[in-house]
Structure 1
Amino acid sequence: MSPQYENMTFIEKDCGNFIDKVRRLRLGKEDATAIHIYFEKNNNQSPGFYFSIDYDEDGRLKNIFWADKRCRLAYKEFGDVVTFDTTYLTNNYDMPFSPFLGVNNHGQSTLLGCGLIAGEDTDTFVWLFQTCLDCMENQPPKESCLKSLGITKKKDSIFKDIHNYVYESLNPEEFVQSWFATGDKYNLHENDCESMNAFFDGYVHSKTNLTQFVEQYERALSSKLEKEFQADFHSYSQLIPCVSAYDIEKQFQASYTMDKFREF
């Protein structure tokens, strides 16, 4: 006789847990050993390099977080507001990459830390956020979402909408739909920074394994740093003229980068 569905005990949560376990098993013993050697090498050769590896109950590699010295220094300078995104490589490459991002003094996205995680459950995110906080000397971001919205008259309304769909969305699709609806409602689509898509495109693909990924990450980061150096050079070698005779504008001209003074 065929089993009756009502008598089966394999519920949806069990299915999700099983899928997460299978995903963790993709990170084989060779990958785990290679990645640990790679991070130990960086830790010994690069002062300020930080990494943490989380293992499951069977000793298999499950979650990873790392940040080099540049990322940690960037956090001290630009960690007022930190964004976190797991959608880029998860959607495109089935690799749950989890970058922590800030915005530098040129208005560019800057990398503050990286994670590779086995799943998107509560325990995993608690581990990841706590590990990131430990790495950054237990200094949380200084600003809340509400403060980071600036002086716009609509910020209270925007924050209320964000709060509603963060806590009331019943599934990811509803959250994404609400997110874009907020952008339409308040005309926020033009307020963007360089995304992680632009950051990693051309460096990783569907066949990239774990060890190759962290090596390609370094190449992508070097390219990103070159763009930041170019922005620094242009900012210090060029001057935007003042539009008034007020001394305070001259003070901003001397203190701000070219990009931020142009906004001012």
Structure 2
Amino acid sequence: MEFDDEDIAYEFYNRYAGDVGFSIRKFWHDKSSTNVIRTKKFVCSREGFNKRNTSDACQRKRADTRVGCMAEMTIKITPTGKYAIASFSNTHNHELITPSKAHLLRSQRRMTEAQKAQIDILNDSGVRSKEGHEVMSRQAGGRQSLTFTRKDYKNYLRSKRMKSIQEGDTGAILQYLQDKQMENPSFFYAIQVDEDEMMTNIFWADARSVLDFDYFGDVICFDTTYRTNNYGRPFALFVGVNHHKQTVVFGAALLYDETTSTFEWLFETFKRAMSGKEPRTILTDQCAAIINAIGTVFPNSTHRLCVWHMYQNAAVHLSHIFQGSKTFKNDFGKCVFDFEEVDEFISAWNKMIEEYNLNDNQWLHHLFEIKEKWALVYGRQTFCADMKSTQRSESLNALLKRYLHSDFYASQTSPRMPKVHMLIQASKAYTPAIFEIFREEYDMVMGCCLYNNDHTLSTSEYKVIDSAKHGEHGFLVKFDPNEIKVSCSCKKFEFVGILCRHALKVLDHNNIKELPSEYILKRWTKYAKIGSSQANRKCANDEDARVVLARRYGSLCRSYNNILSKAAENEEAYALLERTSLELMEQVDQIMQANKSEGKSKVDRNAGGTSTTSEVIPNFTVSNENDQMPSEVPNDPSENLQDKHF
């Protein structure tokens, strides 16, 4: 017989072996100087003899699998470039397998593409390899009927997991993470391994990320859509916005898969890295595994769906509507963003379904069932820091350049404006980016018309019609003159954290020329990072002394990092820090000696925290609980605003 190449010859001999009842393996080959195989030999898997371990340390005696079988087939290249059988032997010195069991022989075991797809589904659902193999065995009518073993099942998952990973990459990852932690002990990383001790998921967050989360982690976006790495693994980012409306990264992860168990591990690890603090709001895509994990790990957080992802999914599931109609995109967008009242939203949705004949569309039906997570009419009362999507429009590369200048620019510049007390007050408090948003609202006050609705002894209600909104629907604004409190049905303050034009109109009507302190959120001001962080105070609540010690050390590293970097740039500042550090060391030694003499523990848990409920900042006090700031603020914050984000 002749074959076009050696692989075809192997497949032929393997099929023959399966019919007869034995397994084969490749034995040896001979190549020419041009790397062409000239001769190749295939043998019975029981050819040769096992090497015996004669040492006393060998406790487990393995059965002999090789018994010197002589069965073989050798092929040799011909002048035409094909391969012909040069020798063949069918002499076996062992018992052959019956045809009904031949599929269990090593060379006969096979996984079809359909079986691989089912394994992937089971694995993505969090089913372990043992249970998954049992499921597929029952479906096939028993293990004897399945064309692969449990070991093959595990090997397939392992090969998929390690796909394209170069030799040494795992060690390089560990070395990199360890080096970063050596540079800064506050660098946090965690690695998850599977039952075979194989690396699966990796999470990391540097000291700046941890500190930024403490200041701006009230709203986070979690996104796994980035797959630019060579391994095709999901690259997950935890991001938010700082007081300059810039993207900040709280942490990152490389994941093996996107199952509920993976996300639960990731969210638990993230929470541990952030000293147990949970965000108020989380934005994600519509992944069921993410939704399940958030419900388990962050039960107190409000979960919102990313509008950008929803539009992308709509373009896929409703492509025929998008392509066939010029108005559907606009009508769909109105349902997402435009309505102030639930009844109006429901009416518009039903009208859209009828108009475009979408009553039988299951995707839209499911989307409507979870409308509270994406329709803005249900989410205006939820603080989202003005974020509606996990996709930030600016690229991280462009943002990186601006991070180096934003705080300095905010401290050294002031916008030009008319001498209006409220605008002057806001310009001193807010960062430039946030002030522009507030100023836009203030400028639109003159475009609003106010009508008295109802008055009682304690509150007044007004109807405010916004000329920019076209129509006479109007917004209901309630005002308490005694407490100087105002609220609007548009919920801009609740959603964004900045007073809307409608509320400002009512304040102006009642001769309130200064913003009440509770309507200036600290997280939007130039002073968002002033004061001790919650991460520093968290130590007092930990019971494990080693955890307390590690967190205190990390907290001090973060606190002194900026001081050290600044002092190194100036000779006088450097000398000051040198002198001060010696004095501090003497004081620390005195405290340690005093504690030893009193028999106190080296890790005094009560020393790591404080029972105070407010952060004291020069000229004003900021409440941690309410995250608000009074109108009186310091005039020169430049000393505190040299932080850089990377």
- The alignment's TM-score, normalised by the length of structure 1, stands at 0.66
Residues 89 and 42 (structure 1), Cα distance of their counterparts in 2 relative to 1, 3 Å cut:
same
Corresponding position of 2:407: 232
- Give CA-to-partner distance per residue, 1:136-194, whole Å, 9 cap, x none: 0010003466xxxxxxxxxxxxx99959xx9xx9xx9469769x966564459x97787
Q: Select which of 221, 241, 245 maps to 2:420.
A: 245
Residues 81 and 69 (structure 1), Cα distance of their counterparts in 2 relative to 1, 3 Å cut:
same
Residues 192 and 258 (structure 1), Cα distance of their counterparts in 2 relative to 1, 3 Å cut:
farther
Q: Select which of 428, 433, 449 maps to 1:254.
A: 428
Residues 58 and 162 (structure 1), Cα distance of their counterparts in 2 relative to 1, 3 Å cut:
closer
- Give CA-to-partner distance per residue, 1:120-147, whole Å, 9 cap, x none: 01111001111000000010003466xx
Would you say the 8 A contact 1:108–1:193 is kept in 2? no
**C-alpha distance in 2 between matches for 1:176 and 1:74:** 36
Alignment pair present for 1:42 and 2:180? yes
**C-alpha distance in 1 between matches for 2:118 and 2:273:** 32
Deviation at 1:21, TM superposition (A): 4.4
Corresponding position of 2:245: 107
Would you say the 8 A contact 2:247–2:399 is kept in 1? no
Would you say the 8 A contact 2:223–2:390 is kept in 1? no
Partner-residue secondary structure (3-state), 1:86? strand
**C-alpha distance in 2 between matches for 1:40 and 1:62:** 18
Corresponding position of 1:15: 120
Would you say the 8 A contact 2:281–2:304 is kept in 1? no
Alignment pair present for 1:25 and 2:162? yes
Partner-residue secondary structure (3-state), 1:240? coil
Deviation at 1:118, TM superposition (A): 0.4
Would you say the 8 A contact 2:217–2:279 is kept in 1? yes
Partner-residue secondary structure (3-state), 2:224? coil
Unaligned runs of 5+ in 1: 4-8, 146-158, 200-219
**C-alpha distance in 1 between matches for 2:204 and 2:304:** 33
**C-alpha distance in 1 between matches for 2:335 and 2:390:** 20
Pick the structure with greater CA Rg: 2
Corresponding position of 1:123: 261
Alignment pair present for 1:74 and 2:212? yes
- Give CA-to-partner distance per residue, 1:30-71, whole Å, 9 cap, x none: 211111111111111113100001111111110000000011
Deviation at 1:260, TM superposition (A): 0.5
Corresponding position of 1:148: none
Residues 68 and 241 (structure 1), Cα distance of their counterparts in 2 relative to 1, 3 Å cut:
same
Specify the code of the residue in structure 1 equivalent to 2:404.
Answer: F
RMSD: 4.1
Unaligned runs of 5+ in 2: 1-18, 20-102, 104-113, 124-152, 284-301, 323-328, 339-386, 439-646
- Give CA-to-partner distance per residue, 1:185-234, whole Å, 9 cap, x none: 4459x9778749822xxxxxxxxxxxxxxxxxxxx6xx754421222233
**C-alpha distance in 2 between matches for 1:161 and 1:103:** 16
**C-alpha distance in 1 between matches for 2:403 and 2:237:** 18
Alignment pair present for 1:136 and 2:310? no
Would you say the 8 A contact 2:220–2:282 is kept in 1? no
Higher helix content, 1 or 2:
1
Q: Select which of 175, 180, 190 maps to 1:52.
A: 190
Aligned identity (percent) is 30
Residues 23 and 160 (structure 1), Cα distance of their counterparts in 2 relative to 1, 3 Å cut:
closer
**C-alpha distance in 2 between matches for 1:21 and 1:10:** 16
Q: Select which of 61, 65, 81 maps to 2:199.
A: 61
Would you say the 8 A contact 1:85–1:99 is kept in 2? yes
**C-alpha distance in 1 between matches for 2:305 and 2:254:** 26
Corresponding position of 2:384: none
**C-alpha distance in 2 between matches for 1:63 and 1:234:** 39
Would you say the 8 A contact 2:221–2:240 is kept in 1? yes
Partner-residue secondary structure (3-state), 2:395? helix
**C-alpha distance in 1 between matches for 2:234 and 2:404:** 29
Alignment pair present for 1:198 and 2:395? yes
**C-alpha distance in 1 between matches for 2:229 and 2:313:** 14
**C-alpha distance in 2 between matches for 1:245 and 1:125:** 50
Corresponding position of 1:205: none
Higher strand content, 1 or 2:
2
Partner-residue secondary structure (3-state), 1:87? strand
- Equivalent residues, number: 215
